[in-house]
Amino acid sequence: MSNAHKLVIIGSGPAGWTAAIYAARAQLDPIVYCGVPKQDPGPVLPGGQLMLTTEVENYPGFEHGIEGPEMMERFRKQAERFGTKVLEHDVERCEFSSDPAHKPHALHIDDGKVVHAHSVIIATGATANWLNLPNEMRLARSGGGVSACAVCDGALPAYRNQPLAVVGGGDTAMEEASYLTKFGSVVYVIHRRDSLRASKIMQQRFLSRPNAKVLWNKVVIDVLGDAKISGLLLEDTVTGERSTLDVKGLFIAIGHTPATKFIKNTGLKFTDKGYIDLPTRTSYTNLPGVFAAGDVADADYRQAVTAAGMGCTAALDAERWLAGAGMH
């Protein structure tokens, strides 16, 4: 099909933009579908998960840190500078071809159009799950002390020697809480039941820290504070009694939801946790001409720099695959 694109990139976080920079410079004329704002299940914005944070201090090259939204704007401009075409739409459904060199993949866009592409990079990320408390997102987006990523934000000066709280009871919550014990004066794990889901070894790792505390049978009802978090309103799940807890940081660690709904039942393989399965260290999925990059294919690291690295890998893989198929 002559009007098919060589490469379509789905997603506009660090992975998607990095793939676009490489692909555009390699003259693949990439199209980026950058997505539209939605709730799925947490807030999803064009620009990705970094749109929900203020200071990014751990991305190399920004010695004094940079605000997440500004960083993503710069990524986008860099991709556009080399000729990337950006379309502000969601891809709603994909029909992947078993022979995309001859019969391209068909992507169904939210405006009713169907777009064809010989190769596709899926970089749709994984949405952090939030509690949906009345004041949670306001204080997350303003840098007011609420975050869904302890490894990203825990080392910020505002959290040093302050009481911090983590919500969650799985291995990730224990890992995030253990990490925070390096910085906080005390780290409370708030858990709705009287036992943790996390493996014994991960629980032990957290509980062995002198500043670790678990608050059993408690749920967070809301975050208190105007510009900055001052505490939490808690409710006891057994007695219903309400109380407040003074903290200067709240870290939500109740998992992520990979953005894969639109590619279910396409023949694409997923891991047990629902991430796109990449059987090798490359970005190749199990389908020809379909590549994946970033958090949508990475349950382990979920960082901007790893997502960007995977975006680079995917663009190089797509370029080589297109060349091998005689299309570039």
Beta-sheet strands, E only, within 29-180:
31-33, 38-39, 43-44, 55-56, 66-67, 85-87, 91-95, 105-109, 114-122, 126-128, 146-147, 163-167
Confirm or reject binding of residue 268 to ligand FAD (CB under 6 A).
no
* DSSP summary character for residue 194: S
- Catalytic residue list contains 34: no
Catalytic residue among 34, 94, 149, 295: 149
Confirm or reject binding of residue 305 to ligand FAD (CB under 6 A).
yes
- Catalytic residue list contains 153: yes
Q: Looking at 47, 104, 145, 249, which residue binds ligand FAD (CB under 6 A)?
A: 47
3-state class of 102 per DSSP? coil
Cα radius of gyration (the chain): 21
Q: Looking at 4, 31, 53, 214, which residue binds ligand FAD (CB under 6 A)?
A: 53
Cα distances from 90 to residues 9, 113, 139, 234, in angstroms, run: 11, 11, 27, 38
3-state class of 157 per DSSP? helix
Confirm or reject binding of residue 128 to ligand FAD (CB under 6 A).
yes
Confirm or reject binding of residue 84 to ligand FAD (CB under 6 A).
no
Catalytic residue among 153, 295, 298, 317: 153
User: 165 or 214: whose CB is closer to ligand FAD?
Assistant: 165
- Catalytic residue list contains 226: no
Which region, judged by CB under 6 A, interacts with ligand FAD, from 144-152, 229-237, 241-249, 273-281?
144-152
Reply yes or no: is the peptide bond before residue 210 cis, omega within 30 of 0: no
Confirm or reject binding of residue 122 to ligand FAD (CB under 6 A).
no
Residue 264 tokens read as 């279910």
Site for ligand FAD in 152-181 (CB under 6 A): 152-153
Confirm or reject binding of residue 52 to ligand FAD (CB under 6 A).
yes
Contact 298, 164 (CB under 8 A): no
Which region, judged by CB under 6 A, interacts with ligand FAD, from 56-64, 78-86, 157-165, 202-210?
56-64
Q: Rounded to whole angstroms, how far apart are CA atoms 130 and 195?
A: 21
Q: Which residues bind ligand FAD (CB under 6 A)?
A: 10-16, 33-35, 44, 46-50, 52-53, 56, 58-59, 90-91, 123-125, 128, 147-149, 152-153, 259, 262, 294-296, 302-305, 307
Residues classed as catalytic: 149, 152-153
